[in-house]
Structure 1
């Protein structure tokens, strides 16, 4: 795949004031790259998961005032959408690039996912690298590294996924913008592939 990578200009989109100006820059600078990644990794993830995966590039269509602070392409096994399903994402905040496995609050099967994750804690602890990160809110840029989380904290999050309506769980990798802009497109493709390989077993628990 001939991918150009991400530049400082891409990350700077999120500091442009105003909805219309930021959206125009996002559509021009970032969205074509996300669409390209969507085409490529929908096929790669279809092979890795054994399910047909479809790309969904964020359109931010419901926004009328506040400009988006992040953007992404998501991958799910549903052609019509991804929010109600366990899915994968590649995207950007102004501060970093992210690669996620995600179950967000719209997913109706969160309780079953949370129970499965809890049952497989030992596998997760053994196979998810310490520099991978976890989050419980996809609308915030913060995340906690695996090596900084106790088993009790992970279990708490997995149990919360089973009982709290608005709960979420995300696992993946963050790459600071300073490092992301230094990598070639080919290096980034390899990184995305490597992260997805490690996340697919968690997805299959879902």
Structure 2
């Protein structure tokens, strides 16, 4: 099934005021595209990871007043949820598309994963492409480019994962909205595929 590309309208959803109004627009414009991406990339990720993967489109169901500032589809080896597991995400903020490998604060094995990352820091530092980015908080759009990180700064992120309860680690690629709306569906799919292949070693470490 072909995926649809993202349009200006998809990004503009995040400028709509009011929880109900924004949720309505998300359901209408963005969620069908995330469903498509979920169906398209679940088999790919199952094959790359060697595990049966399931996709989960964000429903933002617990929100009562603040409209969501981003939305996504997540992929994990669990049919019931993804937050407790190492997982992958494709999604968007008003400013960009993101493609992530993520281990967020709900995951119980963060300390063990932090140790594995620390042990493999040299490999990770060399293998992650210069234009990929890191984040330590999935609720904020800010990231740090890999080529602007020193090895020690990377190590300190890995160490924080072991000691701080709310710590998170995300690594992936961002596409600014102006570039994203020009990508054909085919180019978008190829890009996502390439990013996931690059991130698989991190998933396998987790």
TM-score by length of 1: 0.99
Give matches, 1:62-141, under 5 Å: 62-141=62-141
The CA deviation at 1:71 is 0.1
The CA deviation at 1:125 is 1.3
Q: Deviations over 1:107-162 (max 9, x none)?
A: 00000111111111111111110100000000000101000000110100100000
Contact 2:2-2:40 at 8 Å conserved across structures: no
Q: Secondary structure of 2:22's match?
A: helix
- Aligned partner of 1:203 in structure 2 is 203
Q: Secondary structure of 2:74's match?
A: strand
Q: Secondary structure of 2:138's match?
A: coil
Q: Secondary structure of 1:56's match?
A: strand
Q: Distance in 2 between matches of 1:122 and 1:159?
A: 14
Q: Identify unmatched segments of 5+ residues in structure 2.
A: none
Contact 2:35-2:57 at 8 Å conserved across structures: yes
The CA deviation at 1:200 is 0.5
Q: Distance in 2 between matches of 1:147 and 1:72?
A: 26
Q: Identify unmatched segments of 5+ residues in structure 1.
A: none
Q: Deviations over 1:153-172 (max 9, x none)?
A: 01001000001000000000
Q: Distance in 2 between matches of 1:161 and 1:2?
A: 37
- Structure 1: 4+ residue segments shifted above 6 A: none
CA RMSD of aligned residues (A): 0.5
Q: Distance in 1 between matches of 2:137 and 2:126?
A: 24
Q: Distance in 2 between matches of 1:65 and 1:125?
A: 41
- Aligned partner of 2:150 in structure 1 is 150
Q: Secondary structure of 1:197's match?
A: helix
Q: Work out the number of aligned pairs and report it.
A: 206
- Aligned partner of 1:32 in structure 2 is 32
- Aligned partner of 1:8 in structure 2 is 8
Q: Distance in 2 between matches of 1:4 and 1:170?
A: 25
